[in-house]
Amino acid sequence: MNKWIGTANQGYSPYAIEELRRLFERLKVSPLAAGEVFMVESEVSPETFVDTISKERPAFLRHIQPVDRTFELQGNDADLERLAEAVSDAKSNLSGKDVAVHVRRNAKTSYPFSAADTKAALDRTLTECGAEHVVQSPDLIVAVYAAENELHVGIGSPKDMLSDWPGGAIRFQREEGQISRAKFKLLEAEREFGLDYANFRAALDIGAAPGGWTSLLLERGVRVTAIDPGELHPSLLGNKRLTYLKKNASDVKFQPDTFDLLVCDMSWSPMQMSRLVLDLEQALVPGATAIVTVKLMHRKPLQTIREVKERMSTAFVIRRSKQLFHNREEITLYMTKKDT
């Protein structure tokens, strides 16, 4: 049996586990941190496990870590010594590579060392292995998870782990004057879906207030039409590339083929959001990109996602559905408008 540590947003690990059970038979699961981190044991090879997940791209699974070694914690320096030995044993895989060290700690762990202390201790070990200890853009990651009474260690590539951030918890630095944290969702979507907003010409932002998503698109040089009966942040109003319609989205119409990007981060029900987006899809050019969030409150998440996808698929090709790290009670859909 091959072991992996899976991670989801807090409270959503049951849905990540359900997604994995649909992909793999006879999967054994045990929790590590309630609602967020869990261990899975699978009979399939590591290569098949990774390839299947890369192909299917589950919505709720944020991060996976291979478990190559597990040992009981002693709560003293012996834990660091055993960890260093486990890394040394992988010298043939690490030699000549840029290697990052990711350390995550369960709140109840008996592991006495901080992430910083652990990385400092492994720096010498990596040097002895012929590896370069890096923070960004690693070839490989040494992933360490300190559970309550055990330490789990695994080595893999960022691609295989689904992220080059510890636990998939991608962080962006808050900027001075930033309008809202919602901007981080659109930034993460750009990275997750392999987009570059600077490549778009004209965007439609539905439910734009106070303007976090609009501000990012304007920064990238996109012309933005922002729709919301609420107030946009005053700092945006003088931008020459902004058209602000202080209305409900249901009350506006546009000429066909006006926009090549639609974004929507509304706090409305999923069905209302779907109706508004579909009512405005005629304003998009064929092949236009759409990034929308789907709120998951009050309903079963998997059922809600299925129903929204069914409705959206009448006009769009669903490229990805993903609960990003910066999503809360929602997921993000990446879609393109059908050509016909």
Catalytic annotation present for 91: no
Cβ partners under 8 Å of residue 15, min gap 6: 8, 59, 60, 301, 302
My answer on whether omega of the bond before 234 falls inside 30° of 0, hence cis, is no
In whole angstroms, give the CA distance from residue 10 to residue 38: 12
SS3 track for the chain: CEEEEEECCCCCHHHHHHHHHHHCCCCEEEEEECCCEEEEEECCCHHHHHHHHHHHCCCCCCEEEECCEEEECCCCHHHHHHHHHHHHCCHHHHCCCEEEEEEEECCCCCCCCCHHHHHHHHHHHHHHCCCEECCCCCCEEEEEEECCCEEEEEEECHHHHCCCCHHHCCCCCCCCCCCCCHHHHHHHHHHHCCCCHHHCCEEEEECCCCCHHHHHHHHCCCEEEEECCCCCCHHHCCCCCEEEECCCHHHCCCCCCCEEEEEECCCCCHHHHHHHHHHHHHHEEEEEEEEEEEECCCCCHHHHHHHHHHHHCCCEEEEEEECCCCCCCEEEEEEEECCC
Q: Are 205 and 226 in contact (CB under 8 A)?
A: yes
Choice among 185, 295, 322, 337 that is catalytic: 295
In whole angstroms, give the CA distance from residue 155 to residue 164: 12
Give catalytic residue positions: 295
